[in-house]
C-alpha cells in the first residue's frame, strides 16, 4: 500500500471514530436520562432504577460507548425503546430502500452529468454549450423536494405513468421496485447532475488547456482521440472529488425525498424515532448515514490512487 493510501486509511479510521464519538455525545450523553421519558414522571424510584440497570445506564459513559461500538461491529445495534425490537430489524428493511435509492440517483447523476458536461465542453461557446449551462444553472437552484412534488403532479397525477408514492418491495419484482424508485431518484439526481455537469465541463475545458494535450494534438491525434485518450482520464480527478461530496448530499436528500414520496426508508424511520424519543434508533441511523459518507470518501481516495500513478509511490 502506498504512503498516500496508508495515510488516507488512517484518516478514514480516525474520522469514523470521531463521528461515532460525536453521535454518542449528542444523542446518548447530552439528552440525559431516558428512563424518565420511557416511564413517565409518575413511576416510582424502583422502577426507574430497574430500567436504568436493564439499559446499562449506570455504567460510565466510556463503557457504554464501547459496548455500543462493539455491538455495531457485530451487527447488534441495540434495542428500540419504542418497539422493544432489535434496531437492526428496523434498520435492515429501510436500508434496502435508502441505499439503492441513493445509488440509483447517483448513477443517474453520473451518466447525465458526464454526458452533458463533456458535450458542453466539446461545444465550448457554441449554442449547445450555452443551452446546457443555462439549464444546469436553473437546475442547481431547484429544491429537490419541490421538484419531487412537481414530478408527482405531472407524471403520476396528470399522466398516470407512475404511482404518486410508496415502495414496491424487491421481493415483488425488481423492475417494479426500481420503477417505484424512479421518480424519487430523478428528483434527487436533477440538482446533483446540474452541479456535476458544470464541474465536468470546466474540468474538461481546463484539461484541454494542458501542455500534454497540445503534445497529443501535435502527435497527430484528432480532437476526439485526444478527448478520449488524454483529456477524460485527467479531467476525472476533480469530477470524482465532487462526486464524493455529492454522495453525502444524496444521502441527506434521500431523507427528504422519502418524505415526499412516502417511502418507508431510513428517513421515515428516523423521524418516527425522533417523535418517539427512541434514541437508540436515532443514534444508530445517524451513525450509519455518517459512516456511509465516510466510507464513500475513502473509496474516492482509493480511486484517486487507481487513476493517478503519482499517488502510488509519492506522498501528497
The answer to whether residue 22 forms part of the interface with other proteins (CB under 8 A) is: yes
> Of the two residues 169 and 215, which places its CB atom closer to other proteins in the complex?
215
Indicate whether 173 belongs to the interface with other proteins (CB under 8 A). no
Q: What are the grid coordinates assigned to 19, written together?
A: 463521528
Beta-bridge partner residues of 86? 79
Q: Establish if 255 lies at the interface with other proteins (CB under 8 A).
A: yes
Spatial distance between the Cα atoms of 242 and 237, rounded to a whole number of angstroms: 9
Binding to other proteins by residue 160, rule CB under 8 A?
no
Query: Whole-angstrom Cα distance, residue 187 to residue 171?
Result: 24
Task: Considering the complex, state which of residue 53 and residue 138 has its C-beta at the smaller distance from other proteins.
Answer: 138
Residue 215 has phi, psi (to 5 degrees) of -60, -45
CB of 46 to other proteins, least distance (A): 29
Binding segment for other proteins among 41-49, 95-103, 144-152, 170-178 (CB under 8 A)? 144-152
Nearer to other proteins, 50 or 135 (CB): 135
Q: Which stretch binds other proteins (CB under 8 A): 56-64, 78-86, 152-160, 179-187?
A: 152-160
Angstrom distance (rounded) from CA 160 to CA 154: 8
Nearest approach in angstroms of CB 70 to other proteins is 21
> In the structure grid, which three cell numbers stand for residue 79, read together?
434495542
Q: Which is nearer to other proteins, 181 or 201 (CB)?
A: 201
Q: Cell numbers 412534488 label which residue?
A: 149
Tell me if 157 contacts other proteins by CB under 8 A. yes
Element containing residue 182 per DSSP (H, E): helix 174-208
Contact pick of 219, 228, 315, 316 for other proteins (by CB under 8 A): 219
- Exposed, middle or buried by CB within 10 Å (0-12, 13-18, 19+), for 180? buried
Amino acid at each position: 500500500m502506498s504512503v498516500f493510501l496508508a495515510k488516507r486509511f488512517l484518516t478514514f479510521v480516525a474520522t469514523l471514530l470521531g463521528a461515532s464519538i460525536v453521535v454518542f455525545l449528542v444523542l446518548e450523553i447530552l439528552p440525559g436520562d431516558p428512563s424518565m421519558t420511557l416511564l413517565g414522571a409518575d413511576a416510582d424510584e424502583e422502577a426507574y432504577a430497574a430500567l436504568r440497570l436493564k439499559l446499562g445506564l449506570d455504567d460510565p459513559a466510556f463503557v457504554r460507548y464501547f459496548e455500543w461500538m462493539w455491538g455495531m461491529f457485530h451487527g447488534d445495534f441495540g434495542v428500540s425503546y419504542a418497539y422493544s425490537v432489535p434496531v437492526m430489524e428496523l434498520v435492515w428493511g429501510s436500508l434496502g430502500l435508502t441505499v439503492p435509492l441513493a445509488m440509483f440517483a447517483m448513477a443517474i447523476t453520473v451518466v447525465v452529468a458526464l454526458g452533458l458536461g463533456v458535450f458542453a465542453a466539446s461545444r465550448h461557446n457554441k449554442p449547445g454549450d450555452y443551452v446546457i449551462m443555462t439549464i444546469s444553472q436553473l437546475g442547481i437552484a431547484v429544491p429537490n423536494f419541490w421538484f419531487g412534488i412537481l414530478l408527482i403532479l405531472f407524471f403520476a397525477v396528470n399522466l398516470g405513468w407512475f404511482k404518486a408514492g410508496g415502495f414496491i418491495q424487491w421481493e415483488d419484482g425488481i423492475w417494479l421496485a426500481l420503477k417505484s424508485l424512479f421518480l424519487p431518484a430523478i428528483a434527487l439526481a436533477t440538482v446533483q447532475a446540474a452541479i456535476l455537469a458544470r464541474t465536468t465541463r470546466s474540468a474538461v475545458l481546463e484539461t484541454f488547456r494542458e501542455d500534454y494535450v497540445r503534445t497529443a494534438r501535435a502527435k497527430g491525434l484528432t480532437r476526439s482521440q485526444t478527448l478520449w485518450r488524454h483529456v477524460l482520464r485527467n479531467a476525472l480527478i476533480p469530477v470524482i472529488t465532487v462526486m464524493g461530496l455529492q454522495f453525502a448530499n444524496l444521502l441527506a436528500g434521500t431523507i427528504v425525498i422519502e418524505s415526499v414520496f412516502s417511502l418507508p426508508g431510513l428517513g421515515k424511520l428516523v423521524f418516527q424515532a425522533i417523535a418517539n424519543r427512541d434514541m437508540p434508533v436515532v443514534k444508530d441511523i445517524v451513525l450509519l448515514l455518517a459512516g456511509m459518507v465516510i466510507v464513500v470518501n475513502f473509496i474516492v481516495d482509493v480511486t484517486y490512487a487507481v487513476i493517478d500513478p503519482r499517488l502510488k509511490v509519492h506522498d501528497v
